[in-house]
Structure 1
């Protein structure tokens, strides 16, 4: 699984190369929010499509911003004036037009928004998380895409005991990937490490219980980025779930 890409196409290409070359990965699930905020939505669509065209399996669960951007593209296709679309989506659209990737982006987002959750090994991937008090099956799809803690509250993984197995999410940027542990096994993982804000793009290999990151290029003055000199697993920040 790879955390929120946010149109960081160079970092995504580098991560896909690392996963294939170093770990022999053939299937990737993205945590959503593919095309917003970052510099290259057209390149991001191109990187995903190229990976698929090379014979690998790649898919994304629906993020809140994927849903919004898809709706904006549909409105534009139906004749809505550009100035009636949000400023952020106007920026995404302009970059897609320049890259001649509007139709490809529409197809990719149409596939993405159809998938609220996905299985990856023994893990379930959702964009935002679940409500631990009612469980995965009873959490509304809207919450799986949009969930945020209440004001002053803690993130969902702090209260999740693992009843529905391992759940992997993005959505909430963290400085280091979160690995929530219950009875010595991971039960929740967050892999959104803020690539678009200058952090890193992080992948979690569920079979190995391993994190790998590539450095963000979205930092002023940083002209290089991508893979570490010797890509190695990075240490997550562990959370031990409260008993209760």
Structure 2
């Protein structure tokens, strides 16, 4: 029997949706693989709970592969250089500080910083490629351009290294109906960032998982 394989899009502190999706919709088993596409923090109210939940699942022996999102990268930049703090704060970092009940990034426990620093930029599994945003189509080896993986999305790719791959990504908002259309059309590039933190926007406000084996989406 094939192992079940899932990916979940941008979470942005939406802990309740994440818990519901993992425990009740997916009903995650230890034999499953779950790839998380980054952006766990910022904008939503429960960034710390999201990270704690992911770390706890890993500790319990679930196969969780968390990828780096641009928001985790911005946090790490802000930690390294004071000049980058305001950019992170403007992009929802203030909500993350509040969730951790701290006033400065310097007060984040080291285990969380280690978690952020340990995130990989992409994951390849069989004919799937998982990435937060996308790839640079114009370089010989798209797996060397980390900036593009965090910030740049495309709807199709021509690079031979990306041929015959199904690319699952987040980063750019897409409505739940457009997401479903792309899945039903069996396109090579599937965006599953359905804007869970934007529940005041029509057609958004969902946290979405892609069930790779059955080519379908589950959402909360």
TM-score category of the 2 structures, normalised to the smaller one: 0.7 to 0.9
Greater Rg, structure 1 or structure 2?
1
Name the counterpart of 1:160.
157
Summarize deviations over 1:75-118 as a string: whole Å, max 9, x none: 58xxx9x88973532442232136x9643321221112xx1111
Decide whether the 8 Å contact of 1:96 with 1:102 is kept in 2: no
1:130 to 108, 130, 135: 135
Match of 2:172 in 1: 172
Which of the pair is proportionally richer in helix? Answer: 2
The answer for the alignment partner of 1:192 in structure 2 is 193
Residue 29, structure 1, aligned to residue 30, structure 2: no
Which of 200, 205, 209 pairs up with 2:215? 209
TM-score, normalised to structure 2, is 0.76
C-alpha separation in 1, matches of 2:117 and 2:64: 14
Q: Which residue of 2 aligns with 1:96?
A: 100
SS for the counterpart of 1:59 is: strand
Q: 1:222 corresponds to which residue?
A: none
Q: How many residues align?
A: 198
Flag structure 1 segments of 5+ consecutive residues without an equivalent. 149-155, 215-244
Residues 194 and 83 of structure 1: CA distance in aligned 2, closer, same or farther (over 3 Å): closer
Q: TM-score, normalised by structure 1?
A: 0.69
Structure 1 residue 130 displacement after superposition: 2.2
Any unmatched runs of 5+ in structure 2? Answer: 1-6, 200-204
